[in-house]
Amino acid sequence: MLVRKVPGFVPASPWGLRLPQKFLFLLFLSGLVTLCFGALFLLPHSSRLKRLFSASRTQQPGLEVMAEIAGHHSVSEQEPPPNPAPAAPAPGEDDPDRLVGVLRRKGWLRRTRPTGPREEGNRVAALRPQEESVRFNFDYNGFRSRLRHPVLGTRTDESKESQSLVRAQREKIKEMMRFSWQNYRRYAMGKNELRPLTKDGFEGSMFGGLGGATIIDSLDTLYLMELKEEFQEAKAWVQDSFHLNVSGEASLFEVNIRYIGGLLSAFYLTGEEVFRVKAIKLGEKLLPAFNTPTGIPKGVVNFKSGSWGWATAGSSSVLAEFGSLHLEFLHLTELSGNPVFAEKVRNIRKVLREIDKPFGLYPNFLSPVSGNWVQHHVSVGGLGDSFYEYLIKSWLMSAKTDTEAKNMYYEALEAIETYLVNVSPGGLTYIAEWRGGILDHKMGHLACFSGGMIALGAEDAKEEKKAYYRELAAQITRTCHESYARSDTKLGPEAFWFNSGREAMATQLSESYYILRPEVVESYMYLWRQTHDPIYREWGWEVVMALEKHCRTEAGFSGIQDVYSSNPNHDNRQQSFFLAETLKYLYLLFSEDNVLSLEDWVFNTEAHPLPVNRSDSSSTAGHRH
Ligand code: DMJ
């Protein structure tokens, strides 16, 4: 339609307003906009503005700022992690006092209040000045005074003939330790492991750039065997060259059992501060792994140099890995006064206690995001093993106060007895693996630790089951011995089967290797202490002889590729657990019971002794879970 212009007539706007009215309306509108905008700026944090305009997401409130400080992008721009939160600043990389100062000046500390227990723990760790945790006063003398036995036992009457044989055997094992150490020191000092054939070092990818795995793993064995000069060499390296400012991806489990475990036991044995301080600082670097929706840690932690770390990698966590932190983390709290470590493992315990378990069994894979089992594969060998071990040892380490761990252990063992324990046609008792109800009639070398574990737990079982568990432990240990005895080298394969004519033997070359593993001699040691049956020392000595014959090389000990070959090839690797575990358990097998008495110590899954906690310090709460 055509609108004609009439002189002197000011047309109304489409809404029928005249100019002054329009002006007034615009004025009002702009005032309103200014007011709203201003109000947004008055909100406590600019990230709230972002949230107002962004789609909802699962990120924990209050944590974005910390990521920004660390130079990270917001979570939506990251791949994983699913639920990021800041972790402790990498120890030694940031000056924590300076960081706290900067945060306070900028007012960030007030604005990033945590919103729940998990975040609270992270915040404490992130902002705690490391000096503070180092300055925590642990009463070392009090701890020593509560031990029931001298750490290295009491001297026995050396004139006894039988004792002198045992002493000679012990001396032989000590010589093997000295030989392993000296070759490592000569060819690979500071590297993670020795390669004895090529006479150089091996770094591997499990430790995120940390070095010296063999050194940390060896400290307590050197101390136990009174290899004093060697112990001093190892300690000097930890003091001067063990740097934590690394930035790779590490296995949470491996760093925990080898490094944290090794440092903790070195501290408890010697009282040397350097071990306590480094254990705590390294423990703080592991905390980012727990930043998942369930608090179940991922298997890999990223030590990002000079920044927060993020838990990354795979979609499920492994039972043996997240289930084998309890002992060390309680001691980190005990030695630092920082509750965060105990809180992390208490939460893992809670998730595992509450989750449904098929037939009472614990599958090996759990999603740290949903908290559900990922597959129904159950094993007392690899992937499951040390979870069960840490239940019974948590009970023992708590001076028998952690009844929750005790109950979980015996319930799990009942399910294992019912569904997994079998006897072969040839009369060998074994623990099979379970795949959704179907059994694999095999045992891994790793599962052979279970003889020792069941023996250790037998004493606190219900009266009517004690004898049964002692016998079960003995039978499983006998089966594991058979796996050694049936090979040409008298060393056992990585896995062995029971559903062919050749029982307790590997069925293919790919399972026929032996990499200096400790589990069989570990069980001999526990069974010896429980029964004093000389058969365990005899079997242990067979292993010593076989190691000497097949694994000793010119420059250290090496694993072998085929236990069924009378002249096996070497794998060119002296594993750090050979010094931490295999040689330690052998030495203890030929020692008196009061040397590292089981009344005073529990061994972590890398054979590092941690003391039974009889203190009544405030952080003991961690031990009562
Ligand atoms: C060690 O690192 C530990 O014993 C772990 O629990 C399992 N495997 C190795 C030794 O075989």
What pLDDT, on the 0 to 100 scale, is given for residue 16?
A: 46
Helix (H, G, I), strand (E, B) or coil at 424: coil
DSSP state of 88: P
Look up 494 and say whether it is catalytic. yes
Cβ of 452 closer than 6 Å to ligand 1, yes or no, is no
Please give the number of the atom of ligand 1 that sits closest to the Cα of 449: 4
Please give the number of the atom of ligand 1 that sits closest to the Cα of 445: 11
Cβ of 321 closer than 6 Å to ligand 1, yes or no, is no
Helix residue spans in 106-188 (DSSP H): 108-111, 117-127, 130-135, 140-145, 161-188
What mean pLDDT comes out for the span 369-391?
97
Calculate how far, in angstroms, residue 324's C-alpha sits from the geometric centre of ligand 1. Answer: 11
Note whether 190 and 213 are within 8 A (CB). no
Q: What angle do CA 268, 271, 273 make, to 5 degrees?
A: 110
Q: Which of 313, 306, 193 is nearest to 253 (CA)?
A: 313
Confidence of residue 156 (pLDDT cuts 50, 70, 90): low
Please give the number of the atom of ligand 1 that sits closest to the Cα of 385: 6
Note whether 327 and 610 are within 8 A (CB). yes
As a whole number of Å, the CA-based R_g of the chain is 30
Calculate how far, in angstroms, residue 569's C-alpha sits from the geometric centre of ligand 1. Answer: 22
What pLDDT, on the 0 to 100 scale, is given for residue 615?
A: 81
Calculate how far, in angstroms, residue 202's C-alpha sits from the geometric centre of ligand 1. Answer: 18
Cβ of 604 closer than 6 Å to ligand 1, yes or no, is no
Confidence of residue 55 (pLDDT cuts 50, 70, 90): very low
Is the pLDDT assigned to residue 46 strictly greater than 50?
Answer: no
What mean pLDDT comes out for the span 338-362?
98
From the list 494, 503, 519, 522, the catalytic residue is: 494
What mean pLDDT comes out for the span 118-126?
32
Residue at 151: amino acid letter? V
What pLDDT, on the 0 to 100 scale, is given for residue 73?
A: 26
Pocket test for ligand 1, best of 214, 380, 519, 526 (most atoms within 8 A of CB): 519
What pLDDT, on the 0 to 100 scale, is given for residue 85?
A: 26
For 545, other C-beta atoms within 10 Å of its C-beta total: 12
Please give the number of the atom of ligand 1 that sits closest to the Cα of 258: 2
Percentage of residues of the chain with pLDDT beyond 90: 72
Contacts 24+ apart (CB under 8 A), 96-100: 96/127, 96/128, 96/129, 96/130, 96/131, 97/129, 97/131, 99/127, 100/127, 100/129
First to last CA, the chain: 83
Angle between helices 326-336 and 273-286 (to 10 degrees): 120
Cβ of 379 closer than 6 Å to ligand 1, yes or no, is no
Minimum mean pLDDT range among 77-81, 339-343, 518-522: 77-81
What pLDDT, on the 0 to 100 scale, is given for residue 1?
A: 33
Distance of CA 353 to the CA centre of its chain: 19
Confidence of residue 6 (pLDDT cuts 50, 70, 90): very low
